[in-house]
Amino acid sequence: MTESPYLVGLRLAGKKVVVVGGGSVAQRRLPLLISSGADVHVISRSATRAVEAMDGITLSLREYRDGDLEGAWYALAATDDAQVNATVVAEADRRQIFCVRADSAVEGSAVTPATFSYAGLAVGVLAGGEHRRSAAIRSAIREALQRGVITLESPECSDVVRGGVALVGGGPGDPELITVRGRRLLAQADVVIADRLAPPELLAELPPHVEVIDAAKIPYGRAMAQDAIHAAMIEQAKSGKFVVRLKGGDPFVFARGYEEVLACAEAGIPVTVVPGVTSAIAVPASAGVPVTHRATNHEFVVVSGHLPPGHPESLVNWNALAALSGTIVLLMAVERIELFVDALLKGGRPAETPVLVVQHGTTPAQHTLRATLADTPEKVRAEGIRPPAIVVIGAVAGFGGVRGLNNS
């Protein structure tokens, strides 16, 4: 029976660490060694391109030879040759240097745990050399932290500010498309003020003590709604709570997020923004359409359709847009689609330009429509497409049909 290993954290800054081997195993281990500040020496007959390109290592492309561990504090035998690995471990033992043997955990004097860092914590898991098991448990712990199943009460372990606000991008609809940081902060919220387009599944998984305020239902007239949201955020934060303002997509893309930042700042409330995956890019992608493609377009423009062309408050130059050959992504545009199509046609965008319309993108209700610029309004009406929907105009909108992409 092998004795259980003693789990320890090594402070390696400035200390010599020798990695023998430059293949995929070394490639996976090196980044953490480098970020620990160790003086990393890699000795390998050959190295992957990624290892060759790594900053912060000294790479010697040659065979390992006895004596290479001289002066090292820690070593890793990670070649694909069991004999060489055994020889490295033997030299390490002779010199009393702890050494991991990547191909056989039990034969080294040290083992690498499956690790992750989270909000100032370093978590490591060992499972008696069963790498898959330790990796699976590591991932489960990380997920539990991200979902708030395990909470961090200690303030120094958390970037949550009680009495502060985090503006979090919830992504385009699929609850898995929120960022890791966004999900972590959401799991620690006392109050969540959610937009209509914030993924509802994310709210469903919040613990019962969390107060959820539906921003769409704050009782004020339309014009006052934004002020009322500011007031709610500020009032809740001032009472010492950690407020997450959860928005659809990215908080700074047609979402009035910066107004909310300014309102918090003016009220002296600490505020942080967590970017999100914007529907402008993710929704076309979920329908199999890239917003850019090499040699097809060198620009894509994201345009709000909340005002019609020619409206005195409109800041969009529709003639300039019509003159572009690249991709136009229209948000909030289906209700007035006739007016936008008309402006683009009048400005010279060809009638046969491909168009993709996606409603409820990235959700189980996703519905897509393909058209040309000229027949888009008719098709949008015929299919009864209503907001939220994205309209993609340009050559890329004609792409799609790659078998197997997004399980198609």
Ligand X SMILES: C[S@@+](CC[C@H](N)C(=O)[O-])C[C@H]1O[C@@H](n2cnc3c(N)ncnc32)[C@H](O)[C@@H]1O
Query: Residue 184 or 247: which CB sits closer to ligand X?
Result: 247
Beta bridge partners of 367: 359
Query: Residue 142 or 247: which CB sits closer to ligand X?
Result: 247
Q: Closest approach of Cβ 217 to ligand X, in Å? A: 17
Told to judge if 346 belongs to the known catalytic residues of this protein, a careful annotator would answer no
SS3 content of the chain, % helix, strand, coil (to 5): 35, 20, 45
Angle at 391 between CA 385 and CA 396, to 5 degrees: 135
Q: Closest approach of Cβ 297 to ligand X, in Å? A: 20
Query: Residue 19 or 233: which CB sits closer to ligand X?
Result: 233
Report cis status (omega within 30 of 0) of the bond before 354.
no
Q: Is 30 left (phi over 0), alpha (psi -120 to 50) or beta?
A: alpha
Between 257-266 and 225-238, two packed helices, what is the crossing angle to 10 degrees? 50
Distance of alpha carbon 131 from alpha carbon 105, whole angstroms: 9
Structure tokens at 361: 């993108």
Query: Residue 344 or 358: which CB sits closer to ligand X?
Result: 358
Which alpha helices (H) appear in 207-336, and where do they start and end? 225-238, 257-266, 279-286, 318-323
- Give the H or E element holding residue 214: strand 211-214
Q: Closest approach of Cβ 315 to ligand X, in Å? A: 16
User: Quick check: 255 and 247 in contact, CB under 8 A?
Assistant: yes
Residue by residue, DSSP assigns 96-138 as T-EEEETT-GGGSSB-PPEEEEETTEEEEE--TT-HHHHHHHH
Query: Residue 33 or 358: which CB sits closer to ligand X?
Result: 358
Distance of alpha carbon 62 from alpha carbon 42, whole angstroms: 10
Q: Closest approach of Cβ 290 to ligand X, in Å? A: 16
Q: Closest approach of Cβ 209 to ligand X, in Å? A: 28
Greatest Cα pair distance, the chain, in angstroms, is: 82
Structure tokens at 86: 């055994």
Query: Residue 21 or 248: which CB sits closer to ligand X?
Result: 248
- The amino acid at residue 287 is A
Query: Residue 163 or 387: which CB sits closer to ligand X?
Result: 387
Told to judge if 217 belongs to the known catalytic residues of this protein, a careful annotator would answer yes
Count of CB atoms situated within 10 Å of the CB of 127 = 17
Residue with the closest Cβ to ligand X? 249
Distance of alpha carbon 301 from alpha carbon 92, whole angstroms: 58
Q: Closest approach of Cβ 392 to ligand X, in Å? A: 11
Query: Footprint of ligand X on this chain (CB under 6 A)?
Result: 172-173, 197, 247-250, 253-255, 278-280, 283, 331-332, 358-362, 387-390
Q: Closest approach of Cβ 388 to ligand X, in Å? A: 4
Choose, from 195, 241, 247, 250, the residue flagged as catalytic. 195
Q: Which residues are catalytic?
A: 195, 217
